[in-house]
């Protein structure tokens, strides 16, 4: 009891000491003299234009970069010493599916730990409708990084026409246009399609030209997961170009790849239509993730007719032995046939499967053996059908050739994007691109394999996506721009996520700054949510 009294008295004395001494220092006078909230000193700046690095300090006031040059430490409230580190614009990921879970996990850790400061959702034809609600929720809650979104064609078509395998009537077309217009006015950046998915797979080019005319009115872009990424990839690219060209808007070809071993090595199938269109004045750009495996739902392995009308209709069709056989053969042809050894039971993994989590991280061969079945393609197709019956699964498919990945990376109009989504640490066995895309390009393809230069890689991660998206005030280190900045150690940067163990943050990202506020400091997230919504040109 006595000891308690002594402690209490000491605290009181200390309190008086502090409160009486503090005014003598007059801290408020000093505070007013500081020109910058944050200064980054001694770093090697790669500004995002594609120019090589230069040495300068960066002064940040509020959300913006206000000075690039020599800055005294005394002028700043806070200094980050970036000696021996590279200082670049924060990475802008033009192709993600983060719209799905961002409101539940607004810190989006698997992206900020890659140095990403802006993510674009609503890709491959799917977005959360209505967009206004999502934006309002995020404005209220806060987000760690900046977020923008596209309008998904599949979402709109499904809303108006369900899962019907037919062309829209005049009324249905008008209704779809009305909804696209509504989403553009909510702040969407453009229209996305997913023409390998339901129900976009049923649509014809004319429908898409007409819908894209709505986003053209506002100055939005057209981004497409094209119909085919194998033998008919050139036709598919040309279709996307036609949609943009007829409307005079930019065309972004999503997650470009040669995803069929029959066309490996034939990069001309991509460059020919793109270069021809660019010559005509059509702004065509591409994005790519740096891996040889794709990832998508298994529904894209099915012939599109069998999924028409939704899950109940699909189940009914399976009851008919003739149709069952047709579906099975369709899957074998689409997913389990190849010429050089891809599309094998061994190269197809289950990433996420709610009905059978024990399948996650295993390939189809392992699962068949686990079930006591022969690992033959017929059984593989039946397993895929069985999984789809129980609600489907996300798969990982090894379909690409490393050489093609490298050659595509060199194309000047191609940017880096993840095609990932918000991940929860330890849940499922997702594609490692969700955790590793950007550090992997910098560590593996720039530093180790020397496929492209460091400043070219940074351009593909920053100013090129910003330019494509018409984001005029991000993607470069320039006075007046928003202070989205990534600082990394080029000697150490590397992805750690693997196909077997994807839930691992990369190494080498030291600081990440979003709108002037550090969110990653000395490699650790500090819990702040300074991100903004990136509204499109139609925002009212």
Question: For Zn ion, which is the closer residue by CB, 259 or 514?
Answer: 259
Question: For Zn ion, which is the closer residue by CB, 234 or 300?
Answer: 300
Say how far apart CA 346 and CA 516 lie, in whole Å: 47
Question: For Zn ion, which is the closer residue by CB, 225 or 335?
Answer: 225
- The residue count for binding Zn ion (CB under 5 A) is 2
- Strand bridging mode 394-398 / 293-297: antiparallel
Question: For Zn ion, which is the closer residue by CB, 225 or 269?
Answer: 225
Question: For Zn ion, which is the closer residue by CB, 124 or 421?
Answer: 124
Of 124, 143, 243, 415, the residue at the interface with Zn ion (CB under 5 A) is 124
∠ CA 240-242-247, nearest 5°, is: 105
Q: What's the closest the beta carbon of residue 131 comes to Zn ion, in angstroms?
A: 19
Q: Please identify, among the stretches 15-23, 116-124, 376-384, 429-437, the one whose residues bind Zn ion according to the rule CB under 5 A.
A: 116-124
Q: 3-state SS of 451-501? A: CCCHHHHHHHHCHHHHHHHCCCCCCCCCCCCECCEEEECCCCCECCCCCCC
CB 464 within 8 A of CB 94: no
Question: For Zn ion, which is the closer residue by CB, 92 or 124?
Answer: 124
Say how far apart CA 509 and CA 56 lie, in whole Å: 20
CB 111 within 8 A of CB 94: no
Of 225, 352, 431, 460, the residue at the interface with Zn ion (CB under 5 A) is 225
Q: What's the closest the beta carbon of residue 445 comes to Zn ion, in angstroms?
A: 22
Q: What's the closest the beta carbon of residue 152 comes to Zn ion, in angstroms?
A: 11
Q: What are the tokens at 455?
A: 């400043």
Question: For Zn ion, which is the closer residue by CB, 124 or 306?
Answer: 124
List Cβ<8 Å contacts ≥24 apart for 448-453. Answer: 449/406, 451/406, 451/409, 451/410, 452/409, 452/410, 453/52
Q: What's the closest the beta carbon of residue 259 comes to Zn ion, in angstroms?
A: 11
Burial of residue 98, with CB atoms counted within 10 A of its CB: 0-12 exposed, 13-18 middle, 19 or more buried: buried
Residue 361: strand, helix, or coil: coil
Which of 186, 246, 185, 238 minimizes the C-alpha distance to 211? 246
236 binds Zn ion (CB under 5 A): no
Question: For Zn ion, which is the closer residue by CB, 417 or 452?
Answer: 417
Q: What's the closest the beta carbon of residue 299 comes to Zn ion, in angstroms?
A: 12
Q: Please identify, among the stretches 65-73, 218-226, 446-454, 504-512, the one whose residues bind Zn ion according to the rule CB under 5 A.
A: 218-226
Question: For Zn ion, which is the closer residue by CB, 208 or 446?
Answer: 208
Q: What's the closest the beta carbon of residue 232 comes to Zn ion, in angstroms?
A: 16
Quick note: the x/- pattern for Zn ion over 487-506, rule CB under 5 A, is: --------------------
Q: What's the closest the beta carbon of residue 122 comes to Zn ion, in angstroms?
A: 11
Q: What's the closest the beta carbon of residue 506 comes to Zn ion, in angstroms?
A: 23
Q: What's the closest the beta carbon of residue 254 comes to Zn ion, in angstroms?
A: 5
CB 270 within 8 A of CB 237: yes
Say how far apart CA 318 and CA 163 lie, in whole Å: 18
Question: For Zn ion, which is the closer residue by CB, 431 or 474?
Answer: 431
Q: What's the closest the beta carbon of residue 375 comes to Zn ion, in angstroms?
A: 29
Say how far apart CA 253 and CA 244 lie, in whole Å: 11
Say how far apart CA 106 and CA 529 lie, in whole Å: 8
Task: Kindly give the interhelix angle for 377-389 and 311-319, rounded to the nearest 10 degrees.
Answer: 140
Quick note: the x/- pattern for Zn ion over 421-440, rule CB under 5 A, is: --------------------
Q: Please identify, among the stretches 124-132, 461-469, 487-495, 531-539, the one whose residues bind Zn ion according to the rule CB under 5 A.
A: 124-132
Catalog residues that contact Zn ion under the rule CB under 5 A: 124, 225
């Amino acid at each position: 009891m006595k000891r308690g009294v002594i402690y209490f008295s000491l605290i009181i004395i200390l309190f008086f000491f502090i409160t009486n001494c503090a005014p003598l220092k007059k801290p408020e006078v000093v505070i007013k003299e500081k020109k910058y909230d944050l200064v980054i000193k001694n770093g090697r700046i790669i500004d995002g234009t594609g120019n090589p690095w230069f040495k300068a300090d960066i002064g940040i006031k509020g959300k913006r970069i206000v000075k690039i040059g020599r800055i005294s430490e005394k002028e700043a409230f806070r200094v980050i010493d970036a000696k021996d580190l590279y200082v670049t614009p924060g990475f802008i990921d033009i192709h993600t599916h983060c719209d799905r879970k961002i409101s539940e996990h607004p810190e989006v850790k698997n992206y900020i730990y890659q140095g990403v400061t802006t993510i674009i959702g609503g890709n491959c034809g799917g977005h959360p409708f209505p967009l206004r609600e999502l934006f309002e929720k995020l404005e209220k809650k806060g987000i760690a990084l900046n977020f923008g979104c596209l309008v998904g064609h599949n979402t709109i078509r499904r809303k108006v026409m369900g899962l019907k395998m037919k062309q829209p009537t005049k009324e249905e077309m008008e209704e779809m246009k009305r909804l696209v217009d509504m989403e553009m006015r909510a702040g969407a950046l453009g229209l996305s399609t997913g023409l390998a998915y339901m129900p976009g797979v049923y649509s014809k080019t004319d429908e898409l030209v007409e819908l894209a005319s709505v986003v053209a009115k506002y100055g939005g872009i057209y981004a497409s997961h094209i119909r085919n990424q194998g033998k008919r990839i050139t036709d598919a690219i040309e279709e996307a170009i036609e949609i943009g060209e007829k409307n005079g808007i930019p065309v972004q070809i999503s997650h470009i790849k040669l995803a069929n071993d029959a066309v490996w090595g034939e990069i001309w199938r991509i460059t020919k239509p793109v270069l021809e269109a660019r010559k005509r004045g059509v702004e065509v750009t591409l994005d790519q993730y740096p891996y040889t495996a794709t990832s998508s739902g298994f529904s894209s392995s099915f012939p599109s007719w069998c999924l028409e009308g939704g899950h109940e209709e699909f189940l009914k069709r399976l009851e008919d032995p003739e149709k069952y056989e047709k579906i099975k053969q369709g899957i074998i042809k689409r997913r389990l046939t190849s010429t050089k050894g891809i599309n094998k039971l061994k190269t197809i993994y289950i990433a996420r499967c709610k009905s059978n989590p024990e399948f996650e991280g295993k390939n189809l061969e392992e699962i068949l053996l686990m079930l006591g079945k022969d690992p033959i393609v017929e059984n593989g197709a039946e397993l895929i059908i069985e999984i789809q019956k129980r609600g489907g699964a996300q798969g990982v498919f090894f379909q690409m050739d490393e050489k093609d990945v490298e050659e595509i990376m060199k194309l000047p109009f191609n940017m880096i994007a993840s095609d990932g989504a918000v991940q929860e640490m330890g849940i499922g066995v997702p594609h490692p691109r969700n955790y590793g895309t950007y550090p992997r390009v910098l560590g593996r393809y720039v530093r180790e394999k020397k496929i492209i230069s460091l400043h070219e890689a940074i351009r593909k991660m920053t100013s090129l996506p910003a330019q494509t998206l018409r984001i005029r005030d991000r993607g470069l280190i320039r006075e007046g721009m928003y202070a989205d900045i990534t600082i990394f150690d080029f000697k150490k940067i590397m992805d750690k996520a693997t196909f077997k163990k994807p839930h691992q943050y990369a190494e080498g990202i030291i600081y990440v700054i979003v709108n002037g506020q550090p969110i990653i400091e000395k490699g650790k997230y500090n819990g702040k949510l300074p991100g903004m919504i990136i509204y499109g040109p139609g925002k009212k």
